[in-house]
Amino acid sequence: MEKLINDFSFGLFFWQAIILVILIFLLRKFAWKPILDSLNSREESIQNALDAADRAKEEMMNLKEDNKQMLNEAREQRDQMLRDAQAMKKRLLEEATEEAGKKSAELLTKAQETIQAEKKAAIKELKSQVGLLSLDIAEKVIKAELKDDKSQKALVEKMLKEVQLN
Amino acid sequence: MHNFSIAKFILVLLVFCSLSTFAKAESDGGAVSSKSEIDAYIDHHLQDSYDYNFWSDGETGEHFGFPLPIILIDDGLKVFLSSKFHHGETVAEADGEYYKIYHGKIYKTDAEGTITLGEENHPTNSKPLDFSITKNVATMILTSILLLFMFGGLAKNYKHSKLPKGFGRVLEPLVIYVRDDIAIPNIGEKKYRNFMGFLLTVFFFIWILNLLGMTPLGVNVTGNIAVTACLALFTYVITQFSANKEYWKHIFWMPGVPVLMKIILIPIELLGTLTKPFALMIRLFANITAGHVVIMSLIALIFVGNNIYADTSISLLLALFISVIELLVAFLQAYIFTMLSALFIGLAVEEHDHAHDEHATKEII
């Protein structure tokens, strides 16, 4: 112990204290701070990258799920559309048939009506023709009966007789 | 394959390390063989010194290395190179004053360099205030520059790339290790950031100095009590200055005990704050010193035995084994020092919300 105290060199102690203070200061400024800072930032960036990868994975999974859902929806929609089209076709066909039936019936009735009208007109025409014809005949008959005075007088007398009767 | 070549490299380095110390053992005045000479040599190695001496030629007395500046405060500032002492063999003269190195310390003497010994063989000569750039100081400056280059480079690397390149790949996991396994578990997620500067610096500073102690440079910085005392003092000061109200309350007025006990506990708790850094200081110093002593003693086996071949092989094998353990200890001690510093800081800044809910919430608000 005595030897230790005797060997203790204050000069060495003094220089070491100075060297150590300067060394700590210099290393802190030019080495430890930039080293630790860049280590921290690197670790942070690694962590961020890992987190981002995890997030991307999750997003991928979500996207996949979405895709699946979309696909299902699309399939359903297609089926629905097909069904709709089928139904529409059926309905259109039905409607068309119905319409056609109605139209044909209508046409039929119209034709019948026309025929009826034509018939009526024809009968009317015929009637008037017959009347004219009979008038002509009557005229001709009268003309023939009244071709001389004697027959004219006989006719007048006959008519007068009739009038007197009234 | 790559791992194998690294292992081979370390092995060669360790052998070289051991051999260089062995070569050094022959320095300082001829061959070292007797037990007391070995003791003195080991003691000399553990001490700080005024020059960087790589090896010496015992026969010619030549030394290979370089001198370091001596700075003394003794009636004014005196600065000169340690080469003036000629490795402690001569008296150095500066501005009319004479100085001599005696057992690793500078004493003021007369022109002849007389050291008068008092009782217990302690010199009675006066000692000037010594602020020399010694081998340990120079090594710490070297370590600081090394740290600044290594981690400054790593910091610069992040400016243009998110990932480290080259040597940074080795350093980055260590920084993350200190942060995730030392700072955050002990101090907590919220406050750790303020202490990272100190903890990281101390961890790498101690570790590199420990490792440099194992190289043929032959330095023993972290095995010096002044160095570990300074490091421990830093931990102590930072702990006390960052401590919150709760911490002081637990020292000066321990809640939940009778009043008499509270008074008795004050000095005990106060002493407790001092024993923690004191243990830090002794632990690092003792571990590193012990490692150096063991390795050098094992190498010294070569010189005390009779059969040079058997002794050399046993000595090198054991020294190699201990060197591997010391490599581990070098890391372990840096880890323990930093870990315990973080723990003490963590205890000082901890929120005691479990015991005094009301008080704690008030403090947060």
Residues of B in contact with A19 (CB under 8 A): 137, 140-141, 144
Domain residues for the domain of B105 are 69-132
Q: CA angle A92-A98-A104, nearest 5°?
A: 130
Residue A4 has pLDDT above 60, yes or no: yes
Residues B195 and B181 in one domain: yes
Q: B144 to chain A: nearest residue by CA? A: A23
Q: Is residue B15 part of a domain?
A: no
Q: Is residue B266 part of a domain?
A: yes
- Residue among B195, B244, B194 at smallest CA distance from B362: B244
Torsion sign, CA atoms B215, B219, B225, B228: negative
Q: Where are the beta strands (DSSP E) in chain B?
A: 51-57, 62-67, 69-73, 77-81, 92-94, 97-102, 105-109, 129-130
Cα separation of B123 and B143, whole Å?
34
Eight-class DSSP state of B119: G
Q: Where are the beta strands (DSSP E) in A36-165?
A: none
Out of B103, B132, B161, a domain closes at B132
Residues B98 and B194 in one domain: no
B52: three-class secondary structure by DSSP: strand
Eight-class DSSP state of B365: -
Torsion sign, CA atoms B288, B290, B296, B298: negative
pLDDT tens track, chain B, 365 positions: 455 565 565 555 555 555 444 444 444 444 556 777 778 778 877 888 888 877 776 667 677 788 888 888 877 788 888 888 877 777 887 777 788 887 778 888 877 777 777 777 777 777 888 888 888 999 999 999 999 999 999 998 888 888 888 888 899 999 999 999 999 999 988 889 889 999 999 999 999 999 998 887 778 899 888 999 999 999 999 999 988 888 888 888 888 888 888 888 888 888 988 999 999 999 999 999 999 999 888 888 887 777 778 888 888 899 899 999 999 999 999 999 999 999 999 989 887 655 544 444 444 44
Residues B150 and B106 in one domain: no
Q: Is residue B49 part of a domain?
A: no
Interface residue A39 vs chain B (CB under 8 A) = yes
Cα separation of B19 and B41, whole Å?
15
Task: Take residue B116 and report the two structure tokens written for it.
Answer: 């008068």
pLDDT of residue B5: 60
Residue A26 has pLDDT above 70, yes or no: yes
Eight-class DSSP state of B220: -
Bridge partners of B252? Answer: none
Residues B251 and B283 in one domain: yes
Interface residue A49 vs chain B (CB under 8 A) = no
Minimal Cβ distance to B148: which of A8, A10, A26: A26
Looking at the 3D structure of chain B, how many domains does it have? 2
Residues B195 and B118 in one domain: no
Out of B132, B154, B177, a domain closes at B132
Angstrom CA distances, B95 to B39, B72, B77, stand at 37, 11, 10
Contact B196 A13 (CB under 8 A): no
Residues of B in contact with A44 (CB under 8 A): none
Q: A29 to chain B: nearest residue by CA? A: B197
Residues B246 and B307 in one domain: yes
Residues B287 and B153 in one domain: yes
Q: How many CA atoms lie within 13 Å of A63's alpha carbon, on the beta-carbon side? A: 6
- Residue among A128, A161, A156 at smallest CA distance from A142: A156
- Residue among B72, B64, B96, B100 at smallest CA distance from B84: B100
Position A54: which residue type? D
Minimal Cβ distance to B155: which of A20, A24, A30: A30
Domain parsing of chain A, residue ranges: 2-165
Cα separation of B25 and B319, whole Å?
15
Residues B218 and B293 in one domain: yes
Q: What is the 3-state secondary structure (H, E, C) of A1-13?
A: CHHHHHHCCHHHH
Out of B115, B132, B149, a domain closes at B132
| Contact by Cβ (8 Å): B277, B347 | no
- Total beta-carbon pairs less than 8 A apart between chain A and chain B: 116
